[in-house]
Structure 1
Amino acid sequence: MTEITFSQDQKARMVSKIKAYFEDELQQEIGGFEAEFLIDFFATELGPHFYNRGLFDAQQVLTEKMDEVGYVMQELEKPEV
């Protein structure tokens, strides 16, 4: 699996959210560097878990849709004479 990277804009928005969370929920200030460090840590250590869950969820949806296609195909069959 390749390393998870984010654009500067994406990272800036995430840093802002982390800083707001620390301030609102923990009543602590966190600097931009520390917030970026947390993002990198979460991406490296927890990212694969979320990625794999996303793949699992996508596979479930795809399987359900393929089952639906199978039923539609059966409905299109012509009776044999």
Structure 2
Amino acid sequence: MRDKDKIKLTKEKREDMISSIKEYFYNERGEELGDLASSQILNFIIDELALEFYNQGVYDSYKYMTRSINDLLSVQKY
């Protein structure tokens, strides 16, 4: 992902996500991760996976808008 396209997080949101990653690994795998490891996982998700989630959101929005426009045509008067 290019730097200009990279997801930007506030400090608070980043800390919340790191905390969520740590909690997930502890609850699901019994592993205690530190801040550095959790931060690296978050960076990996942002750098390698986020684009797919973004593109899926764009596609889902496109489908919704297309259905909405088609619904709009149904209210025409003849």
Q: Same fold (TM over 0.5)?
A: yes
Match of 2:53, SS state, is helix
**TM-score where L is the length of structure 2:** 0.89
* Pairing 1:65-76 to 2, within 5 Å after superposition: 65-72=68-75, 74-75=76-77
| Percent identity of paired positions between Structure 1 and Structure 2 | 28
Hey, which bits of structure 1, 4+ residues long, moved more than 6 A? none
- 1:28 corresponds, among 21, 28, 31, to 31
* 5+ long unaligned stretches in structure 1: none
1:56 aligned onto 2:59: yes
- Aligned residue pairs, count: 75
**TM-score where L is the length of structure 1:** 0.86
Q: Which residue of 2 aligns with 1:15?
A: 18
* 5+ long unaligned stretches in structure 2: none
Inter-partner Cα distance in structure 2 for 1:66 and 1:44: 34
CA RMSD in angstroms, aligned pairs only: 1.1
Q: Which amino acid aligns with 2:21?
A: I
**Greater RCO between the two (CA within 8 Å, min separation 6)?**
2
Match of 1:46, SS state, is helix
1:42 aligned onto 2:42: no
Inter-partner Cα distance in structure 2 for 1:68 and 1:49: 29
Match of 1:30, SS state, is coil
